[in-house]
Structures are given as C-alpha cells and as structure tokens.
C-alpha cells in the first residue's frame, strides 16, 4: 500500500492506493506520506482540482471493501451529482433497506470526499459527518459545492 498526504482547505487528506485502486481516504496530519505512484499523482491532481473548484466528478479507480450493503450505498453516493444532496431515505428506498442502515454505511465510507457521503442529509436536514471536524467539515464541503442552500 502506498499513501499520499494532500493539504486542502478541508484539512490534510491522506489517500491510500493498493493494487491499482484507491482504497481509503482519511484526514491526518500526524505523519506526512509522499509515496511515489502514478495513481496517487492522479488522485492528488484530482483532489487539488476539486479543492480549487475546477473538478466536479472524480474519475479514480476505487475498490470499496466491506459488505455488499456498504458497496451498494457507496455506489449510490457516487451517483449524487456535485452540488446536489439526497436523504438517507432516498437511498434506502432505492436499495430497499432501512435508512438507519444507509446512515451506518455512510459512516463507514472508506473514501469520503471522493465518494461524497457529505451529500447525504437527514430527512429534516443536516446530520453528522464522520470525517475530521465532523459536521463543520460536512458544511464546508457542501458550501464549496454550492449544495444545500439552507446552509449557505
């Protein structure tokens, strides 16, 4: 596995590549990772373009580990367009699973930002966020995308 630390306005994002796919993204500043790898170069370029407002859709090869439910929820989240939001209930209806299960899967998303779990809201509005900074980071990501006009 190779890792790359990428400073952004949302904090330092650490991206992990394994066997030709991005497998994890987390926030971290304790250790800077600068492994060499063409895929990490591309991930850094795309994350910097997103941060600068020049990218609205990631095109990185991903490998989502975990349950079939997690993979299905991540696929639904990946389909949410830049600047839009959906509810846990919307995804739950599509997948015929409880909204609470969708919420749990969102919290287990191994590649937040790239798989935009921040675009998933509760039925009554803003909910938590498992990324560093919690809900404040979710709000910052949504504002960056011009989503959820009630927050802007």
SS3 95: helix
Q: Give the integer Cα–Cα distance in Å for 109 and 149.
A: 24
Q: Across-strand partners of 3?
A: 16
117 among known catalytic residues: yes
Cβ-Cβ contacts under 8 Å for 7 (sequence gap 6 or more): none
Q: What are the start-end ranges of the E strands in the chain? A: 2-8, 11-18, 21-27, 86-87, 120-121
Kindly list the catalytic residues.
Answer: 117
């Amino acid at each position: 596995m190779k890792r790359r630390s990428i400073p952004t306005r949302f904090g330092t994002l650490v991206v992990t590549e394994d066997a030709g796919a991005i497998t994890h993204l987390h926030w971290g500043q304790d250790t800077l990772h600068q492994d060499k790898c063409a895929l990490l170069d591309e991930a850094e370029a795309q994350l910097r373009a997103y941060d600068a407002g020049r990218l609205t859709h990631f095109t990185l090869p991903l490998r989502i580990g975990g349950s079939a439910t997690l993979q299905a929820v991540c696929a639904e989240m990946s389909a949410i367009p830049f600047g839009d939001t959906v509810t846990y209930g919307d995804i739950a209806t599509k997948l015929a699973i409880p909204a609470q299960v969708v919420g749990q899967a969102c919290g287990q998303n191994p590649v937040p930002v790239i798989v935009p779990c921040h675009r998933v809201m509760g039925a009554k509005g803003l909910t938590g966020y498992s990324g560093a900074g919690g809900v404040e980071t979710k709000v910052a990501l949504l504002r960056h995308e011009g989503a959820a006009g009630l927050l802007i």
